Amino acid sequence: MSLLIRGASQLATPLGRSARRHGELGRVAVHTDWVVRCDDGTIAFVGPTAEHDARFPAADLVLDADGGCVIPAFVDPHTHPVWAGSREGEFNRRLRGESYMDIARSGGGINATVRATRAASFEGLLASTLSRLDRFLEHGTTTIEAKSGYGLDLATEIRMLEVIAAANRDHPVDLHPTCLAAHEVPPEHRGDTDGWVDRLVAEIHPNIARRGLAEAVDVFCEQGVFDLDQTRRLLADADSLGWRVHLHADELTPLGGAELAVELGALSADHLMCVTEAGIDALAGSETVAVLLPGTSFFLRTAYAPARRLVDAGCAVALATDCNPGSSPTESMPAILALATLGMGLSVEEALTAATLNAAAAIGRSAEIGSLEVGKRADIAVLAGPSFHHLVYHYGVNPIRHVVKNGRVVVRDRQLVARSR
């Protein structure tokens, strides 16, 4: 099956098979009158229209970009997409001045979603997750990292990860599962964080690893949640369980999470709103990707991560939604790009690379996805606007017109046309 995307006024993509840093982050290849050809789910040609037509037979299917801009589909390397209930009541409380942590301490926050998620069935969780995946796809995202973490007991953590596995089988979006059983201290262990850490290490992590339900592990390393020593204990045997490491690091307080992520050889250190200079230096000298989540700062009305300092220091910076019911309830990477540029000071080029190629690196997939290059998977978005600047310029609306996943048109003229694999 071959697909040809033609009629684009512009094609814009970062280039490479690993994360870009420094000036390279902002180096986006931009071409006019270029096409992309996909053969059996893989990009077979990216280049001038005339060269394609001279070298290749007619494609089985042609997608007319109709003057729109063609970009690699987004990769979202940090999401919490499985949950029940909603927490819009916390929105007003925060507007009146309560902090995220105040609300969590008074019975709201993560533990409120844990109560709702524990009470939800597999079928109910799968249905709401699939409808969130529809919105990821409609906004141009074809691959996400997906965390558990609203169960905080073995049975519900397994249920969440089984929902992620089922969604990955059924839905066009690719999901990369992460075990985040160390998201909070559950009510059964209130005041006994060490006892909960013991159970995670002895029982819950090994059980989930044995079932093959996760590729990676994550910990909410934060004052009042898991401190550095507890986080170290939680991640000490990640290798032997076959797991890569992500870390919620320096989100609300400067605890040294970035340094710990580097020490542990983590794939990514995420959030980093409160990262220190030492943390920035450590990240810059490492392969650990700095995943920034400006939606969370926007939604919690807290400071943005120091994106410019991280980029200028040479860190591999990526962007993600953090999609979750408490601190960033959005599936929209274009919204994140708007915040990354207008709020954090990245250029549009830097933001595009951070949301595609570097985001793929943050989940260890930059050799396969994240740019429009021959041999990569054909995961492609077509904007309604004529240049990639329309991603952020035409803000507050969905700028995506068509989406191609594995060489198949899954969103056409803003309509979801394929909801299964």
Residues that bind ligand NIG (CB under 6 A): 80, 109-110, 113, 220, 248, 251, 296, 322, 324-327
Which residue sits closest to ligand NIG, CB atoms considered? 326
CB of 314 to ligand NIG, least distance (A): 25
Minimum Å distance from CB 210 to Fe ion? 25
Comparison of 81 and 326: residue with beta carbon closer to ligand NIG: 326
Compute CA distances 143 → 15, 380, 403, whole Å: 18, 11, 12
State in angstroms the smallest separation of the CB of 330 from Fe ion.
13
Q: In the stretch 290-329, what mask flags binding to Fe ion with x, by CB under 5 A? A: --------------------------------x-------
Interaction partner, residue 325 (ligand NIG, Fe ion, none; CB < 5-8 Å by kind): ligand NIG
Residue 273: CB minimum distance to Fe ion, A: 12
- Closest contact distance (angstroms) between CB of 179 and ligand NIG is 14
Residue 246: name its binding partner from ligand NIG, Fe ion, none (Cβ under 5 to 8 Å by kind): none
Nearer residue to Fe ion within complex by CB, 69 or 247: 247
Give the nearer residue to Fe ion in terms of CB position, either 10 or 321.
321
Residue the block writes with tokens 């007319």: 64
* Listed residue (209, 182, 210) closest to 197, CA to CA: 182
Q: Choose between 322 and 379: whose C-beta lies nearer to Fe ion.
A: 322
Nearer to Fe ion, 110 or 126 (CB): 110
* Nearest distance, CB of residue 266 and ligand NIG, angstroms: 15
Q: Which does 196 bind (CB under 5 to 8 A by kind): Fe ion, ligand NIG, none?
A: none
Distance CA 320, CA 302 (A): 17
Nearer to Fe ion, 35 or 219 (CB): 219
Say if residue 182 is exposed, middle or buried (CB neighbours under 10 Å; 0-12, 13-18, 19+).
Answer: buried
- Site size with Fe ion, rule: CB under 5 A: 1
Given a contact cutoff of 8 angstroms between Cβ atoms, the answer to whether 345 and 351 are in contact is no
For ligand NIG, which is the closer residue by CB, 171 or 248?
248
Taking the complex as a whole, the smallest distance from the CB of residue 74 to ligand NIG amounts, in Å, to 18
Three-state SS annotation for the chain = CEEEEECCCEEEECCCCCCCCHHHHHCCEEECCEEEEEECCEEEEEEEHHHHHHHCCCCCEEEECCCCEEEECEEECCCCCCCCCCCHHHHHHHHCCCCHHHHHHCCCCHHHHHHHHHCCCHHHHHHHHHHHHHHHHHCCEEEEEEECCCCCCHHHHHHHHHHHHHHHHHCCCEEEEEEEEECCCCHHHCCCHHHHHHHHHHHHHHHHHHCCCCCEEEEEECCCCECHHHHHHHHCCCCCCCCEEEEEECCCCCCCHHHHHHHCCCCEEEECCCCCHHHHHHHHCCCCEEEECHHHHHHHCCCCCCHHHHHHHCCCEEECCCCECCCECCCCHHHHHHHHHHHCCCCHHHHHHHHCHHHHHHCCCCCCCCCCCCCCECCEEEECCCCCCHHHHCCCCCCEEEEEECCEEEEECCEECCCCC
If the CB atoms of residues 109 and 256 are measured against ligand NIG, the closer one turns out to be 109
Residue 174 as a binder of Fe ion (CB under 5 A): the answer is: no
Residue 230 binds: one of ligand NIG, Fe ion, none (C-beta under 5 to 8 A by kind): none
How far is it between the farthest Cα atoms of the chain? 70
326 binds, among Fe ion, ligand NIG, none (CB under 5 to 8 A by kind): ligand NIG
Under rule CB under 5 A, residue 350 binds Fe ion:
no
344 vs 348, which CB is nearer to Fe ion? 344
Instruction: State the minimum distance, in angstroms, from the CB of residue 212 to Fe ion.
Output: 23
Q: Which does 110 bind (CB under 5 to 8 A by kind): Fe ion, ligand NIG, none?
A: ligand NIG
**Using CB distances below 5 to 8 A depending on partner kind, what does residue 251 bind out of Fe ion, ligand NIG, none?**
ligand NIG
Question: Which CB, 54 or 95, lies closer to ligand NIG?
Answer: 95
Residue type, 12: A
**CA dist., res. 99 & res. 95, Å (int):** 9
Q: Does 250 bind Fe ion (CB under 5 A)?
A: no
Give the residues lining the site for Fe ion (CB under 5 A).
322
